Amino acid sequence: MEAYVRFGQKVYPPTKKSSRSALNNKIYPCFSGGVYSPLVPLAGADLVLGLELLEGLRMIRYINPKTIFLVNKYIFPFAGGLPEEEILLKINGLVKNEKHIIPASKICQEELGAEVVSGIYLLGYAAHKNLIPLKPDLILKAIEKVVPSKRFELNKKAFELAQSN
């Protein structure tokens, strides 16, 4: 949202009631332009960004033929969960449009020693590959504003690392 504001766009964050619902469902809607609804309609997403494979699979109901699907190739382990191969088969069978399944957690752990910045890596990937309509420098300035200063350098490295991959 911060980057959209810096870009000069009006941004409509979710209302308190809808954000509670969104947080419970791991859906974080943010709208710019003339959209005033706090909810993402089914098949209404421009970009689905998933921090792990199962989360990406859950978001398939929001895609349409123009949606860009970007997800971290990571499985959050829990008892009774689907195996990675099965999730990937389902995603590949259901998502026919542009998809990017990136091992962001693995890359961040190997290159930076910190898997925790994989979300920033994915955001950097989306920015550097022009998957979102914001310039990388604007996003980086927004990250600097919202991330604590002692954590900014690591986040900056993760964001910039995505440019080279």
Q: What is the pTM of this model?
A: 0.81
What 8-state DSSP symbol labels residue 39?
S
- pLDDT (average), residues 106-125: 98
CATH of domain 41-164: 3.40.920.10
Dist. CA 17–CA 27, nearest whole Å: 13
Please report the pLDDT score of residue 18 as a whole number: 45
Dist. CA 154–CA 159, nearest whole Å: 9
| Better-predicted residue by pLDDT, 30 or 96 | 96
Mean per-residue pLDDT of the chain: 85
Domain with CATH 3.40.920.10 in the chain: 41-164
Cα dist from 57 to 3, 45, 85, 162, whole Å: 27, 14, 12, 23
